[in-house]
Structure 1
Amino acid sequence: MYFQQERAFNTAMPYGLRRIESVRTMLTKSLTALVPFNTQEILTPGGICYGRNAVTGNLIIGLRTSLVNGNAMVVATSGGGKSMFVKLEILMLYLRFTKARFYVVDPENEYAPLVQELGGEVVNISVDSATHFNPLDFKYDKATKIPPHVAKAEFVLSLCEQIMGKEHILAGDKSLIDDALENIYKPLMESHYTAPCPTIKDLWMALNNQRDKRSKEIALALRIFATGSMQAFAQPTNVDMSNRLICFNIQSLGEQLKPVAMLSMLEYINTAVMSNERNDPKAATWVYFDEIYLLLRDSLSANFLYTSWKRFRKYNAYATGITQNVQDCLTNDTAYAMLANSEFVVMLRQTKDIDSVVELYGLSEPQRKYLLLAQPGEGIIKMGNSLIPFNNPQPKDTKTYKLLTTKPGEME
């Protein structure tokens, strides 16, 4: 119609005149796509596919790294397709970016088949596990030149707070811990970082050998984790932590060991994120926290999450939280701040929390109904300022589907 604008305009007007010969039938769904601002599309060059736009049928091609911050939250009721969505994203990002690194916190042992199929490392964390990673592992950085006892002091102090209770930590304890750390890391530094890293057992021995009474009290509190029945984190690392896809399986953790395990695991992830950025600034790091409400229960791990959602962007890292209940996020200050700092939000099927979601993101009545009646794999994607209803059904007769699904009877 480039040279027939006036004729086309008069043909479209409701006075019954046809000034052009071409005739085209359009259904309502196709016509709505022509109305300005009625539909939104996401077609980011170099992105990955998140499904189809439920209004126009076009593919949604997005990339979280192109947003102001690439942090994400995936919320849905049980069975809404959260795990399938996240696993598909991990699979596509892993294949698309061959230098990117991935860390998955897996409380329900759902990600192991995918990680193993991709050649990743599954670290089973429990009292009787055969796999171990040492939270006192240290990799020297020539750029910052920070000594190991300085880098690990805050973690060990937090560990003691977790074991002894914050109210029982005295003002001078940090100095005692710092002295013990300097002693156990001395052989490592003298070897120019070729000797094995010390463990929590070494820290316990160093504190116990100090002559003052308070050091022995701290050592006594650490003993059960150093030589006792909960010494899962007092062993040298025996898994390949250099793998670019690592899954921490914490399903078998008991309640007593869980806070210490969370702290040790998050310390490793935090160190890895900063180390990855220094080694290769262009390679992104993706961190996934499934059932994130488990981490929000503890103040120390909740504080780590709060800091991560604000700082990860500076290290070319992107955090993703997965949860069932939006209401828990709205009533928890830390979780609410994480939602506010997430430019990418995936809302799958909602039931009891639907009104909270509507209020939080200003959804319209049709969008509310779409979420309420959504089938697994259907929902709304918020990417930046765009809110797009989508569907992403997966054929069930493929090896990929059987690898990703968590439904009983469908897994291999």
Structure 2
Amino acid sequence: TFTIEAEDLKQAKSRLERMEMDVLNNFKQMGVKAYVLDGEERLKVIHDILNPNDKLVFSFEDLKYSGLTTKEYIVPPSFNFSKPTYFKSGEVFSEVNFLQLLASDIKDEMLSEFLALEENMVVTFHIKAIDQMEAIKNVKRKITDLDKMKLEENKKAIRAGYDIDILPSDLVTYGTEAKNLLSELQNHDEKMFLVTILFMNMSKSKGKLDNTVFTLKSIANRHNCSLKNLNYRQEQGLVASLPLGINEVEIERGLTTSAAAIFIPFTTEELFIKGESLYYGLNALSRNIIMADRKKLKNPNGLILGTPGSGKSFAAKREITNAFLITDDDIIIADPEAEYSPLVEALEGQVIKISPISKDYVNPLDINIDYADEDNPLSLKSDFILSLFELVVGEKKLSAEEISVIDRCLPILYKTYFENPVSENMPILEDLYNLLQKQEEKVGKKLAVEMEIYVKGSLNVFNHRTSVDTNNRVVCYDIKELGKQLKKIGMLIIQDQVWNRVTVNRASKKTTRYFVDEFHLLLKEPQTANYSIEIWKRFRKWGGMPTGLTQNIKDLLASPEIENIFDNTDFILMLNQAGTDRDILAKKLNISKHQLSYVTNSNEGEGLIFYGNTIVPFIDQFPKNTKLYSLITTKPEEVKKAGE
């Protein structure tokens, strides 16, 4: 709350508007999002201090008809200031104390110790700036007074016959400190402030209130300070504790800029968002719960980064479980290492095990005709089939003639299905193979020959109609047993299946969460990399929320195009990092040395969360004696034990 003195309201408004711009710009330069509270928000802040157990029900529209003022909406049922050391607001006992700063050297740990108490407490700082010239004059006057006192002591020493250099210790200390203060004000760009620090504690019982205040006094004593009760001035203390900018407790202590800055409590950034938020652990500094809703980000795309064994898969499974329980979102998982099946089965999801010997089939030619009006399903499917052929042919780019032949076949391929969209009419790869063979150009027959192994040969796993439920709320594609060549095609087909689900959910305004483990595998092939880049660029508009897990940071920076994935990601869960990766990430994400310490030789489940412009160190200590832990752990010895 910023206040100024002015002759009238008009002058005050113009000066406050200038102050507002300066304050917001300063916050912006620090990378902090700040905005001015409107009238309703200010009322809510005051109401919640006065009524800690009630909810504010208010609208300015009601004031027109009720005949009430805003005060009637925010005051508690009653105030009782009959006692000298505490007061009651409604049924709540409250006590206001001021902090007496006795120590010459104050440490910033003191405030964090106060705030670590999990009690209902309002800490208020009244900081009033003193004109620089006036401050210097005041200090010089004090030095003159101290010098005068030294002369008096010297006269006493001469009369008493002892050494004039023997002076009272307090006089020597104050003289040295006053000269140091003058030097700081004149030479070190320090300014002078008058500071009042108040603690207002609230509790439902007087006994608990007394215990809390006793604990606070103990903390203050440890730091050579004192917490004093505002005897007979509790009402003035309450008013001063409200965000009104009014200080009727005229107990002030002069502090320089650096000394006052120690008390600014913005050393710990918190991440707690109301609504459909998911739990991500505890703040490593404050131990407060971290709750975040990625949907509220400008771009909800996510990355989970960390060395092997740092807990990437565990973190992804935690988020999957929370999303399943808290939201109605659909969840799709690309699982190259067969790690997610136990959890998905426990959530009654569909595990699709794709391998040369599996009977789980996914048709790469599945198409969704329920696209938005501006999108042509066939043109979007064409992009996927061309990428598929590039992988089949083993070339980075198809020739213009090859593209034309394939594109000519597609309307014929889907004609029957578009006329009668039933599953029996959905084409398979063999239908496309037959169409290519019938083309007059040699290139058509050449393409048919190149895809023959995937139709009639040993790699025909994708030449079947879909035999599994791809519409289950949780779908996991297990492609561990696919060979090297088939794995590339498998991952591309999974991405196309995700697109199909996203387009279906888009119409019903449903979010689709897509988790892809070993994300670097997708970035190594141009076709799957291009598809991934497209997903990271366009998913947000379609209600999709992709999350990539990788240990290879360099693969994310392999090209300017792939680097766009970083630029289109506003949520990063960063676990322990290797040395070279730390340096890359520090430069890319503007991470400070202190923040880097949380991803340097850190334990599993510890690291940094990037949520938009907010960076929070977190720790997630999951209880191991639970059923859920046995389902989501990836440690071989624990997986084996859970199986037994």
Q: Does 1:11 align with 2:118?
A: no
SS at match of 1:307: helix
Which whole-Å CA distance do the structure 1 matches of 2:602 and 2:356 have between them?
Answer: 41
Which whole-Å CA distance do the structure 1 matches of 2:406 and 2:412 have between them?
Answer: 10
**RMSD between superposed Cα atoms in Å:** 3.0
Match of 1:386 in 2: 614
Q: Does 1:215 align with 2:444?
A: yes
Distance 1:309 1:34, change over 3 A: farther
Match of 2:632 in 1: 404
Distance 1:78 1:218, change over 3 A: same
Distance 1:373 1:156, change over 3 A: closer
Deviations 1:351-383 (A, max 9, x none): 322222333333333322232131111111111
Q: Does 1:87 align with 2:303?
A: no
* 2:570–2:610 Cα contact (<8 Å) kept: yes
Q: Does 1:304 align with 2:304?
A: no
Which whole-Å CA distance do the structure 2 matches of 1:213 and 1:137 have between them?
Answer: 27
Match of 2:335 in 1: 106
Q: How does 1:7-406 map to 2 (within 5 A)?
A: 11-12=100-101, 14=103, 24=216, 25-26=218-219, 35-46=264-275, 47-98=277-328, 100-141=329-370, 143-144=372-373, 149-166=378-395, 169-193=398-422, 195-278=424-507, 280-281=508-509, 283-352=510-579, 353-406=581-634
- Using the aligned pairs only, state the percent identity: 35
Which whole-Å CA distance do the structure 2 matches of 1:332 and 1:300 have between them?
Answer: 14
Q: What letter is aligned with 1:218?
A: L
Structure having the larger proportion of residues in helix: 2
SS at match of 1:122: strand
Following superposition, the deviation at residue 187 of structure 1 comes to: 2.1
Which whole-Å CA distance do the structure 2 matches of 1:295 and 1:384 have between them?
Answer: 25
* 2:370–2:503 Cα contact (<8 Å) kept: no
Q: What letter is aligned with 2:541?
A: K
Following superposition, the deviation at residue 249 of structure 1 comes to: 1.1
Following superposition, the deviation at residue 294 of structure 1 comes to: 0.5
Which whole-Å CA distance do the structure 2 matches of 1:45 and 1:106 have between them?
Answer: 31
SS at match of 2:314: helix
Aligned pairs, number: 403
Which whole-Å CA distance do the structure 2 matches of 1:268 and 1:88 have between them?
Answer: 23
Following superposition, the deviation at residue 165 of structure 1 comes to: 4.0
* 1:148–1:185 Cα contact (<8 Å) kept: no
Following superposition, the deviation at residue 9 of structure 1 comes to: 6.0
* 2:368–2:503 Cα contact (<8 Å) kept: no
* 1:70–1:318 Cα contact (<8 Å) kept: yes
Q: What letter is aligned with 1:83?
A: S
Which whole-Å CA distance do the structure 2 matches of 1:34 and 1:143 have between them?
Answer: 55
Following superposition, the deviation at residue 191 of structure 1 comes to: 2.5
Structure 2: give runs of 5+ residues left out of the alignment: 1-48, 51-80, 86-95, 105-169, 171-195, 200-212, 223-260
Which whole-Å CA distance do the structure 2 matches of 1:20 and 1:335 have between them?
Answer: 53
Which whole-Å CA distance do the structure 2 matches of 1:371 and 1:158 have between them?
Answer: 37
* 1:149–1:178 Cα contact (<8 Å) kept: no
SS at match of 1:389: strand
Following superposition, the deviation at residue 56 of structure 1 comes to: 0.8
Following superposition, the deviation at residue 149 of structure 1 comes to: 4.6
SS at match of 2:370: coil
Which whole-Å CA distance do the structure 1 matches of 2:505 and 2:577 have between them?
Answer: 37
What is the TM-score with the length of structure 2 in the denominator?
A: 0.58
SS at match of 1:256: helix
Q: What letter is aligned with 1:41?
A: E
Distance 1:43 1:187, change over 3 A: same
Moved more, 164-173 or 377-386: 164-173
Which whole-Å CA distance do the structure 2 matches of 1:315 and 1:167 have between them?
Answer: 28
Match of 2:206 in 1: none
* 1:41–1:60 Cα contact (<8 Å) kept: yes
Following superposition, the deviation at residue 10 of structure 1 comes to: 6.8
Deviations 1:295-329 (A, max 9, x none): 11000111111111111110111111111132432
SS at match of 1:393: coil
For the pair shown, which has the larger CA radius of gyration, 1 or 2?
A: 2
Distance 1:378 1:229, change over 3 A: same
Q: What letter is aligned with 2:592?
A: S
Structure 1: give runs of 5+ residues left out of the alignment: none
Following superposition, the deviation at residue 154 of structure 1 comes to: 2.4
Distance 1:11 1:76, change over 3 A: same
Which whole-Å CA distance do the structure 1 matches of 2:197 and 2:525 have between them?
Answer: 71
Moved more, 321-330 or 139-148: 139-148
Following superposition, the deviation at residue 150 of structure 1 comes to: 4.1
SS at match of 1:152: helix
